[in-house]
Amino acid sequence: MMKINFNRAALAESLGLLTSVVPSRTPKPILRCVQIAADEKEVRICATDLEVGINYLVSEVQVEEAGEVIVPADELAGIVRESVDEVLSVRAEQGTCEITGSDSHFTIYGPEPGQYPVVPGFDGDADIKVRLDNLQAGIEQCLFATAKESTRYAINGVLWEIKGKKLLLVATDGRRLAHTKVNLVSAPDEKIAAAKIIVPAKTMSLLGKIGGSDKDTVAVKLVDNQILASCADVVISSNLVEGNFPKYEDIIPTDYDKKLTLSTEAVLSAVRRSALLTSQESRGIKLSIEKDSLIFSGRAPETGDAQVSMPIDYKAEPIEIGFSPQFLIDVLRVIKTPEFELELGQPDRPGLIKSGGNFLYVLMPINLG
């Protein structure tokens, strides 16, 4: 027997994060459930897909009787989302869970308690500490560049590397690479600083969704082949990606002589407009850079062509180079500075974008034939 009264809004917030781990298809039906476990004082809800787990301490609860229940996640989340009550009462015994509001009563059947996989909490000291807002800003600047589906499993994740008091995050899908630096609260010890780990994209996405205040700190621990991250009431645990990340240093050009400083907003608008008349076949836009002018052009043989020009301060050799407009839009959306640097070599060499001292992006050109 278990009985808990939940603040509905707090429960809804926790389920919003928890259900993002629950797999939609799985050979193990129990993974489509969440585990609610209450002792005298606190209630934890856990979800896992056996790769990534969330252990969530729910606030604003009143425990009348301690216990455990395993409940199908989507059904529970739907009931909580659609309910209008401020408080929802959850009672459970022997695989049956009853949820009661002022005018509603739901009964959901789930597995017997005691069968749910263990989802770790966070014990002991952190290996790495980073402010939540700093980490989430870094995630926004690299996660988009990870490989969405790849046979090379290592690039489905984000590389974490420590340099002194900074955490380097690197992501690539083979055609572009994002590299950002995040300030840590303090420099970790040597053993941790030497570790290079690859964190799955799904785990990075969850860390990006943790709600909290700007003051919150994320405590990170590396245990065996797992990463544990604790922030406010949430512990996210995840397997690390095995395999070798590409030698990204070799990909970042250092010898370029063509350099421009451009307005982030103006270029984003120009790329969007010049891409309006591209087709699947021509799929790229051309940047024509001459003395004092930059022209973005797109064309689709059967539709027409587009040109957008802007004045620039440029004195080096003229160059024409083609890029994927989507890959430019992706990066321009996450640049936080009003201006960025564009550096180029030859038309068949990658473009290099830099913003502030902490962010760079390498982009393979495309041949526009």
For the chain, what are the domain ranges?
Answer: 2-109, 128-248, 252-363
Choose between 152 and 318: higher pLDDT: 318
Burial class (CB in 10 A: 0-12, 13-18, 19+), 82: exposed
pLDDT tens-digit profile of 324-349? 999 999 999 999 999 999 999 999 99
Q: What is the spatial distance between Cα 82 and Cα 77, in angstroms, rounded to a whole number?
A: 9
pLDDT at residue 207 in the model: 96
pLDDT at residue 33 in the model: 97
| Confidence band for 150, pLDDT divided at 50, 70 and 90 | low
Over 70: is that where the pLDDT of 137 sits? Answer: yes
Q: What is the spatial distance between Cα 107 and Cα 99, in angstroms, rounded to a whole number?
A: 6
Specify the CATH class of 252-363 in words: alpha beta
| Predicted model pTM | 0.92
pLDDT tens-digit profile of 196-251? 999 999 999 999 999 888 789 999 999 989 999 999 999 999 999 998 999 999 99
| Token pair in block for residue 89 | 């009462």
pLDDT at residue 4 in the model: 97
Tell me the CATH number for domain 128-248.
3.10.150.10
**Same fold yes or no, 2-109 and 252-363:** yes
pLDDT at residue 368 in the model: 82
Helix (H) or strand (E) holding 328: helix 325-334
pLDDT at residue 283 in the model: 80
Residue type for 270, please? A
Contact by Cβ (8 Å): 158, 204: yes
Which strand ranges, in their side-by-side order, compose the sheet holding 285-290?
A: 304-311, 293-300, 285-290, 319-323
Average pLDDT of the residues in 175-196: 93
Contact by Cβ (8 Å): 6, 60: yes
DSSP of 237-253, one letter per residue?
A: EEEPPPS----GGGTS-
Tell me the CATH number for domain 2-109.
3.10.150.10
Contact by Cβ (8 Å): 141, 182: no
Nearest to 249, CA basis, from 163, 148, 165: 163
